[in-house]
């Protein structure tokens, strides 16, 4: 292991310029900065590591950011295929004033490397390429086929991933997929997600008058803000249970494998509370399931924004003509954006709010890999070799949302995420960084996967 570690470090040094040049590209998808340049860079990068590469586009959607497809075939025929998913786009660097270095100038210090996008998720692609090169140092070819899908819209909701997967379904066919990321916790345990919650995000709005009404009329005139409050209040009880008829009936009961894996997921409420700077207790006091179950297995219905009437300083005496809320619903298996939209619509209609507009403005289906799939064992076993026994954690699904379901749907693959991040990496935040030791661990993990992937009894 010591010798391998030295080889990983040497390989990292040798390829470091490739990482640095990749990091310097300001590929902020929300602002369409250097998108084509970065896609071209990734093409060259994959080619430099021996892949056949194509930059894919969508004929009827010219504004879609390109997807980079790469393929390195196995030395022998009839070998299984591993699909590697990453994204070359990054979050905006705001707030710049909170960075201690320039956001797009990579800086190494204290055993870490700082740059926007290094943890989310540029370094992970370089780690995967380094692992392939390490394997090829000792062998004259790969034991498996490796494909790459590197997209440029992950940070804006992977808005065209379904189009790409539908159009290029055959090209991306694989036996399993390594997701973009995975993170170490405070105890050095690697958390690997085998699924993600989905989301249905709504604009909810109502209008009670053409113009704001003077609030002296409040005794008799209705008010869009009050109606919004009453409509929202009707959707949740004091125990924070959703009170929409049938809401919980949609939920697929987590199977025993999911429950068994969740049992092993560490959960420290106090650390989480502190990490989130909360001023309030968790809202799960009155639930008949645990906080951890709530977080991973249950759907949520929450409000991300309220907007009505006057919001400035002082007093403006109006009955707001209109009021809007942003509704964020997280989905677990059993839910789709569409069936949730129907439940909400029915609830509004039957509670006196038929006039409310309910627009679905973001929709991602939930996904949970079949946890009996042998790929799960492969990921755990190869991980334990690197991180230690009991130090790799499979979460049946992350509480967060991502486009895993699209891959599951179009490619039928099991999916697990691994990566070089840790809890303090600051994805989406100033001073984003990864620690080199985590990067080395990650490379070793991927190397183990490449070495053992062909041993798996692939059903699919």
Site for its own copies in 341-400 (CB under 8 A): 355, 361-362, 398-400
- The Cα–Cα gap between 241 and 288 comes to 11
Taking CB under 8 A as the criterion, the residue among 1, 63, 276, 354 binding its own copies is 276
> Cβ of residue 394: shortest distance to its own copies, in angstroms?
18
Q: Is 12 in the site for its own copies (CB under 8 A)?
A: no
In the complex with its own copies, the residue whose CB is nearer, 48 or 221, is 221
Strand order in the sheet with 107-109: 107-109, 112-114, 433-435
Taking CB under 8 A as the criterion, the residue among 169, 217, 256, 264 binding its own copies is 217
Show the binding pattern over residues 240-269: x = contacts its own copies (CB under 8 A), - = does not: x----------------------------x
- The Cα–Cα gap between 171 and 149 comes to 10
Taking CB under 8 A as the criterion, the residue among 78, 100, 187, 280 binding its own copies is 280
Taking CB under 8 A as the criterion, the residue among 222, 257, 370, 437 binding its own copies is 222
- The Cα–Cα gap between 344 and 243 comes to 11
What is the C-alpha radius of gyration for the chain, rounded to an integer number of angstroms? 24
> Cβ of residue 360: shortest distance to its own copies, in angstroms?
10
Q: Is 459 in the site for its own copies (CB under 8 A)?
A: no
> Cβ of residue 235: shortest distance to its own copies, in angstroms?
9
- The Cα–Cα gap between 181 and 86 comes to 8
Show the binding pattern over residues 400-419: x = contacts its own copies (CB under 8 A), - = does not: xx------------------
- The Cα–Cα gap between 319 and 287 comes to 37
> Cβ of residue 232: shortest distance to its own copies, in angstroms?
5
CB atoms within 10 A of CB 251: 15
Stretch that binds its own copies, among 9-17, 84-92, 233-241, 375-383 (CB under 8 A): 233-241
- The Cα–Cα gap between 336 and 182 comes to 25
Site for its own copies in 282-301 (CB under 8 A): 282-284, 291, 294-295, 298, 300-301
In the complex with its own copies, the residue whose CB is nearer, 41 or 298, is 298
Q: Are 123 and 19 in contact (CB under 8 A)?
A: yes
Taking CB under 8 A as the criterion, the residue among 11, 128, 330, 368 binding its own copies is 330
From the list 420, 412, 419, the residue with the least C-alpha distance to 81 is 412
Q: Is 238 in the site for its own copies (CB under 8 A)?
A: yes
In the complex with its own copies, the residue whose CB is nearer, 40 or 218, is 218
Q: Is 111 in the site for its own copies (CB under 8 A)?
A: no
Q: Is 80 in the site for its own copies (CB under 8 A)?
A: no
Site for its own copies in 147-166 (CB under 8 A): 157
Burial class of residue 170, CB neighbours in 10 A (0-12, 13-18, 19+): exposed
Q: 């943890």: which residue's tokens?
A: 119
Q: Are 82 and 174 in contact (CB under 8 A)?
A: yes
In the complex with its own copies, the residue whose CB is nearer, 140 or 249, is 249
In the complex with its own copies, the residue whose CB is nearer, 49 or 356, is 356
Q: Is 187 in the site for its own copies (CB under 8 A)?
A: no
Q: Is 309 in the site for its own copies (CB under 8 A)?
A: yes
Stretch that binds its own copies, among 4-12, 34-42, 221-229, 430-438 (CB under 8 A): 221-229
**In sequence order, what are the beta bridge partners of 207?**
322
Angle at the Cα of 349 (from 243 to 320), degrees rounded to 5?
A: 95
From the list 363, 448, 442, 378, the residue with the least C-alpha distance to 413 is 378
The distance between the two most distant Cα atoms of the chain, rounded to a whole number of Å, is 83
From the list 449, 436, 419, 440, the residue with the least C-alpha distance to 121 is 419
Taking CB under 8 A as the criterion, the residue among 216, 288, 389, 390 binding its own copies is 216
Taking CB under 8 A as the criterion, the residue among 17, 211, 270, 457 binding its own copies is 211
CA–chain centroid gap for 6, Å, is 32
> What letter would DSSP give residue 157?
T
Q: What token pair was written down for 353?
A: 């709010």
> Cβ of residue 270: shortest distance to its own copies, in angstroms?
13
């Amino acid at each position: 292991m010591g010798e391998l570690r030295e080889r990983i470090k040497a390989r990292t040094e040798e390829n470091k310029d490739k990482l640095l040049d990749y990091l310097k590209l300001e590929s902020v998808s929300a602002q369409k900065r250097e998108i084509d340049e970065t896609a071209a860079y990734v093409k060259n990068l994959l080619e430099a590591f021996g892949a056949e590469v194509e930059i894919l586009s969508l004929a009827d959607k010219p504004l879609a950011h390109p997807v980079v497809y790469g393929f390195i075939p196995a030395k022998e025929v009839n070998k299984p295929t591993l699909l590697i998913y990453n994204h070359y786009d990054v979050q905006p660097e705001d707030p710049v004033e909170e960075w201690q270095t320039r956001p797009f100038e990579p800086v190494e210090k204290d055993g870490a490397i700082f740059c926007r996008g290094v943890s989310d998720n540029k370094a992970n692609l370089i780690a995967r390429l380094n692992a392939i090169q390490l394997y090829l140092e000792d062998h004259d070819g790969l034991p498996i086929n490796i494909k790459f899908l590197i997209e440029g819209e992950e940070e804006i909701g992977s808005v065209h991933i379904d189009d790409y997967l539908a159009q290029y379904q055959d090209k991306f066919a694989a036996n399993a997929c390594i997701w973009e990321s995975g993170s170490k916790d405070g105890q050095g345990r690697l958390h690997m997600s085998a699924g993600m919650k989905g989301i249905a995000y709504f604009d909810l709005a109502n209008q009670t008058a053409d113009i704001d009404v003077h609030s002296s009329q409040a005794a008799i005139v209705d008010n869009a803000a009050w109606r919004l409050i009453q409509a929202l209040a009707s959707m949740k009880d004091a125990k924070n249970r959703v009170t929409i008829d049938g809401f919980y009936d949609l939920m697929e009961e987590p199977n025993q494998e999911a429950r068994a894996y969740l049992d092993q997921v560490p959960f420290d409420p106090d650390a989480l509370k502190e990490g989130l700077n909360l001023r309030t207790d968790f809202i799960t006091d009155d639930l008949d399931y645990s906080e951890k179950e709530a977080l991973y297995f249950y759907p949520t219905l929450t409000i991300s924004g309220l907007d009505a009437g006057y919001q400035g300083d002082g007093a403006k005496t109006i009955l707001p003509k209109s009021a809007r809320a942003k509704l964020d619903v997280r989905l677990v298996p059993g839910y789709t954006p569409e069936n949730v939209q129907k439940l909400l619509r029915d609830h509004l209609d039957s509670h006196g709010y038929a006039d409310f507009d309910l627009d679905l403005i973001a929709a991602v289906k939930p996904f949970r890999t079949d946890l009996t799939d042998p790929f799960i064992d492969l990921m755990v076993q190869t991980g334990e070799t690197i991180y230690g026994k009991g130090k790799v954690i499979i979460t049946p699904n992350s509480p967060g949302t991502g486009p895993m379901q699209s891959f599951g749907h179009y490619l039928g693959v099991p999916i697990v995420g691994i990566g070089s991040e840790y809890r303090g990496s600051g994805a989406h935040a100033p001073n984003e960084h990864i620690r080199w030791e985590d990067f080395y661990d990650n490379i070793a993990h991927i190397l183990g996967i490449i070495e053992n992937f062909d041993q798996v009894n692939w059903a699919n």
